[in-house]
């Protein structure tokens, strides 16, 4: 353990009444922006000097054949290096708290003649201009706000950032999260009892209608007080600009859930049926009244009546849950409601209600209730996933910009990883944001102690 020390001195104005607090605070903020990186550089240069003394001998008295804690990148030997002076220009490395400028010392290998800077070698900084921690910090911000705004926020906390760098950070971090959506990285312990499948459209690529982002989310637990239950979710799969069938492989690797929640889109239902043939399917209670409204629109039903019917169905579903109805009671009131539509000869709406009938009250089946009792009851809709989708859309819609498909994939990957606290994200953050184990103290000499 060696001690590195840095002396900070400041030309503080006299306390004569003209010195304002805001000036002092501005000084403190200016120090925040500069001190960490400068202290780090000074400490590293002191460590570098000690290393070179140890490996090459004192400056004016070189010693031959001394062992080194590093190997020559040219020939691999670990001894007999000679001083080769300092590089004239400092090496710039952008880190999470500012810009570090290192004055690097070179050594030369007496075996092969290679000249290199051992500090870069030992800290694995060769070829690096920016640390992973800075990239993760920038990507984390950029997954919550526009690139420009993310850069602005990062800069206000002393991080070297620009719009372009925030953009690059997302592109750099996304590939490090390649476990996102890959089944092999899902905790086997956190197998999901409820799987929710849903998709959303996003403005990307050359097509006018954009592309589809499909997501599979698992519900693993609920916690918190009765009225403010919080759902715990795991990200099971995500695809960008691919058909639903593409997610089959990711999902097939999972244990079959107790129930699958779908929005009614045929491709999603098909995927659920083929992946887990024995798992009952639940139609989302949030989507069904909306789908009914669309069907009645296609049937050219009068708008006020169609709106009323939509509200009626939504209320029917709410009442079913509130009044703890049985499966057959619920089905009975559903059939009565359906008859009021059928009687009015609305074919699309009739077909919708008939097609959904077998899946609307799956959550009320006694065996499903029993298997999900520990979860505090099933999720009656895709509400949890809807919230995720809303956040995704809120971020990707900023400024009405049109994304490249790759750019969107990177952003969605980082955003979903963060929002669901995916294991790949947690690991990346733990690796780049370890606790500091280097202890330090700040000593303040006392003048004129009386």
Q: In whole angstroms, give the CA distance from residue 343 to residue 350.
A: 9
Burial label for 34, CB within 10 Å (0-12, 13-18, 19+), is middle
| Interface stretch with Zn ion, choices 103-111, 132-140, 300-308, 399-407 (CB under 5 A) | 103-111
Q: In whole angstroms, give the CA distance from residue 450 to residue 447.
A: 9
Query: Which CB atom, from 107 or from 380, has the smaller least distance to Zn ion?
Result: 107
Q: How far is CA 273 from CA 55, 175, 178, 182, in A?
A: 67, 31, 27, 20
Count of residues of this chain found to bind Zn ion when the rule CB under 5 A is applied: 7
| Interface stretch with Zn ion, choices 107-115, 186-194, 250-258, 415-423 (CB under 5 A) | 107-115
Q: In whole angstroms, give the CA distance from residue 143 to residue 414.
A: 7
> Binding of Zn ion at residue 112 (CB under 5 A)?
yes
Q: Please tell me whether residue 377 adopts helix, strand or coil conformation.
A: coil
- Provide, rounded to whole angstroms, the least separation between the CB of residue 58 and Zn ion: 22
Per the CB < 8 A criterion, the answer to whether 321 and 379 are in contact is no
- Provide, rounded to whole angstroms, the least separation between the CB of residue 70 and Zn ion: 11
Tokens describing residue 345: 């000869």
Query: Which CB atom, from 109 or from 150, has the smaller least distance to Zn ion?
Result: 109
Query: Which CB atom, from 28 or from 75, has the smaller least distance to Zn ion?
Result: 75
Q: Rounded to 10 degrees, what is the CA torsion of 414, 415, 420, 421? A: 50
Query: Which CB atom, from 68 or from 424, has the smaller least distance to Zn ion?
Result: 68
- Provide, rounded to whole angstroms, the least separation between the CB of residue 91 and Zn ion: 21
| Interface stretch with Zn ion, choices 85-93, 109-117, 261-269, 300-308 (CB under 5 A) | 109-117
Q: In whole angstroms, give the CA distance from residue 375 to residue 384.
A: 14
Q: Rounded to 10 degrees, what is the CA torsion of 422, 424, 430, 431? A: -170
Among 37, 55, 99, 109, binds Zn ion (CB under 5 A): 109
Backbone angles phi, psi at 107, to 5 degrees: -125, 160
Query: Which CB atom, from 114 or from 232, has the smaller least distance to Zn ion?
Result: 114
Q: In whole angstroms, give the CA distance from residue 287 to residue 314.
A: 10
| Interface stretch with Zn ion, choices 66-74, 210-218, 241-249, 272-280 (CB under 5 A) | 66-74
- Provide, rounded to whole angstroms, the least separation between the CB of residue 121 and Zn ion: 12
- Provide, rounded to whole angstroms, the least separation between the CB of residue 183 and Zn ion: 46
Contacting Zn ion within 69-88 (CB under 5 A): 72, 74-75
Among 91, 103, 114, 270, binds Zn ion (CB under 5 A): 114
Contacting Zn ion within 225-244 (CB under 5 A): none
Query: Which CB atom, from 116 or from 425, has the smaller least distance to Zn ion?
Result: 116
Other Cβ atoms closer than 10 A to 7: 5
Residue 182 is given by DSSP the state -
> Where does this chain bind Zn ion (CB under 5 A)?
72, 74-75, 109, 111-112, 114
């Amino acid at each position: 353990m060696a001690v590195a020390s840095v002396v900070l001195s400041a030309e503080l104005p006299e306390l004569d009444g003209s010195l304002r607090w805001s000036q002092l605070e501005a000084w403190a903020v200016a120090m925040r922006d500069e001190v960490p990186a400068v202290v780090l550089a000074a400490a590293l240069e002191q460590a570098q000097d000690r290393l070179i003394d140890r490996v090459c001998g004192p400056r004016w008295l070189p010693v031959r054949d001394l062992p080194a804690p590093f190997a020559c990148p040219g020939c691999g030997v670990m001894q007999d290096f000679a001083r080769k002076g300092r590089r004239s220009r400092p090496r710039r490395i952008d880190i999470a708290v500012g810009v570090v400028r290192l004055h690097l010392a070179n050594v030369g290998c007496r075996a092969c003649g290679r000249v290199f800077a051992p500090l870069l070698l030992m800290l694995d900084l060769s070829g690096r201009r920016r640390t992973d921690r800075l990239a993760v910090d920038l990507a984390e911000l950029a997954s919550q706000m526009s690139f420009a705004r993310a850069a602005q926020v990062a800069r206000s906390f002393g991080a070297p950032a620009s719009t372009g760098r925030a953009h690059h950070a997302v592109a750099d971090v996304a590939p490090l999260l390649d476990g996102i959506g890959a089944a092999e990285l899902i905790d086997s312990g956190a197998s999901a009892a409820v799987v929710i499948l849903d998709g959303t459209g996003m403005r990307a690529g050359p097509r006018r209608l954009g592309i589809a982002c499909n997501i599979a989310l698992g519900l693993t637990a609920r916690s918190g007080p009765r009225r403010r239950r919080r759902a715990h979710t795991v990200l099971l799969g995500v695809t960008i600009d691919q058909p639903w069938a593409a997610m089959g492989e990711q999902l097939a690797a999972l244990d079959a859930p107790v129930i699958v929640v779908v929005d009614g889109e045929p491709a999603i239902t098909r995927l659920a049926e083929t992946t887990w043939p024995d798992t009952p399917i639940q139609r989302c209670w949030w989507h069904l009244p909306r789908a009914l409204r669309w069907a009645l629109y296609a049937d050219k039903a009068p708008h006020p009546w169609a709106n009323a019917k939509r509200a009626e169905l939504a209320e029917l579903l709410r009442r079913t849950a509130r009044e703890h109805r049985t499966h057959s009671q619920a089905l009975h009131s559903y059939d009565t409601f359906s008859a009021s539509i059928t009687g009015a000869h609305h074919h699309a709406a009739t077909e919708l209600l008939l097609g959904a009938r077998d899946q609307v009250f799956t959550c009320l089946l006694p065996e499903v209730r029993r298997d999900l009792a520990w979860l505090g009851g099933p999720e009656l809709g895709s509400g949890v996933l809807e919230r995720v989708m809303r956040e995704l859309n809120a971020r990707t819609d900023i400024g009405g910009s049109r994304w490249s498909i790759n750019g969107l994939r990177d952003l969605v990957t980082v955003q979903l990883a963060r929002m669901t606290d995916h294991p790949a994200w947690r690991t990346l953050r733990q690796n780049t944001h370890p606790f500091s184990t280097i202890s330090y103290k700040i000593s303040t000499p006392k003048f004129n102690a009386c």
